[in-house]
Amino acid sequence: MEEKKKRRKALKAAFPLTIPVLTGYLFLGIGFGVLMSTIGYGLGWTVLMSALIFAGSIQYIAIALLTAAFNPFYALLLTLLVNARHLFYGIAMLERYKGAGKLKPYLIFGLTDETFSLLSTTEPPEGVERKWFQFFVTLLDHSYWVAGSAIGAIIGALIEFNTKGLDFVLTALFVVILVGQWRSTKNHIPALIGLAATAICLIFFGQTNFMIPAMILILAALTVLRKRIEGRENV
Amino acid sequence: MTLTTPQLLLTIAALVLGTVATRFLPFLLFPPHKKTPHYILYLGEVLPYAVIGLLVVFCLKGVSLVAAPHGLPELIAILCIIGVHFWKNNTLLSIGGGTLVYMLLVQYIFV
């Protein structure tokens, strides 16, 4: 009984925090569901992917994989590349997830951009158990994503409309995250390194081969400029 | 549909494996009882910013500046998103509005 009460309290504290993600995920999820239906995949596949993968950017990119020739190794490599940023979310959450016990594997599984942005900056309110708070934030985000995808799959099956340009929703998401990050810090060197290094590699290596050189160049630039960047932190 | 059901399941499995690997690896490499190196902590702090820059460029990789419409729809939509986001700071409005602007541009204006 005591345990049940604790959980309800954590859920109540978690929900208001997740409202921005609720709206964002519903929209992105709907976009994903609609695009899946335009290439011939219905509710079942869409929900399965959203429940098991739970990574918006790679799911959008996967739409292209599902219409191309079968190549699971390329799919794996591309996922590792696109999701490599999650490595750094994990590093940032090492301390925060320390006390999560048996909930920890699920918390790590659900560590998306948005869940990370909520849990890396917010502490649970007084009297709310941390691990259950983290669990409900993750679970709520996960359910918004699956629900949005399901709604999109249903809309896509019922209504026929011109979806040209709908995939821009992913670009829009990243631009919004970039703007949000830009406002949250005065140190813009890392963001500028990311933009410039990738643009340079795109020009030199071309559309199909630029991702790995870009990641290497970013790591190199961040390492070389470490003193300057760290010197400007908290300025 | 170009993939058979087993091929589709394998592709989804690859996507799940790749995602799970990137999410779990730091926790396996740096267990709670061991001290995480300073360099890794530094990267953990700065990489999220750099990677979003990478992803924005990744999304725009197919845009040609040489051929018409010279990346104009993308540029206009992104400027709208930045403007609206600075103004209202509402994620849904910025993403939804920006996408709608882009769809209208590519469907009606830069056809």
* A204-219 pLDDT per residue, tens: 999 888 888 898 899 9
Domain boundaries, given as residue ranges, for chain A: 2-165, 185-235
Give the tokens for residue A33. Answer: 């569901």
Give the tokens for residue A189. Answer: 């060197």
Instruction: Establish if B57 touches chain A: CB-CB under 8 angstroms.
Output: yes
In this structure, what DSSP letter does residue A102 have? Answer: G
- Whose CA is closest to A200, among B99, B106, B61? B61
- Identify whether B69 is preceded by a cis peptide bond (ω within 30 of 0): yes
User: Does the ipTM surpass 0.90?
Assistant: no
Is the CB of A86 less than 8 angstroms away from the CB of B23?
yes
State residue A235's pLDDT score: 41
| Other C-beta atoms lying within 10 Å of the C-beta of residue B72 | 14
Taking the C-alpha atoms of residue A140 and residue A21, their distance in angstroms, rounded to an integer, is 9
Shortest alpha-carbon distance between residue A187 and chain B (Å): 10
pLDDT, tens digit, 9 for 90 and up, residues B14-33: 999 999 999 999 999 988 78
Is the CB of A175 less than 8 angstroms away from the CB of B41?
no
Instruction: Establish if A210 touches chain B: CB-CB under 8 angstroms.
Output: yes
State residue A1's pLDDT score: 60
Q: Which residues of A touch B96 (CB under 8 A)?
A: 27
Instruction: Establish if B84 touches chain A: CB-CB under 8 angstroms.
Output: no
> Which of B25, B57, B65 to mutate against chain A (most A CBs within 10 Å)?
B57
Domain boundaries, given as residue ranges, for chain B: 63-111
- Mean of pLDDT over chain A: 89
Instruction: Establish if B63 touches chain A: CB-CB under 8 angstroms.
Output: no
Instruction: Establish if A161 touches chain B: CB-CB under 8 angstroms.
Output: no
Is the CB of A79 less than 8 angstroms away from the CB of B41?
no
Is the CB of B30 less than 8 angstroms away from the CB of A53?
no
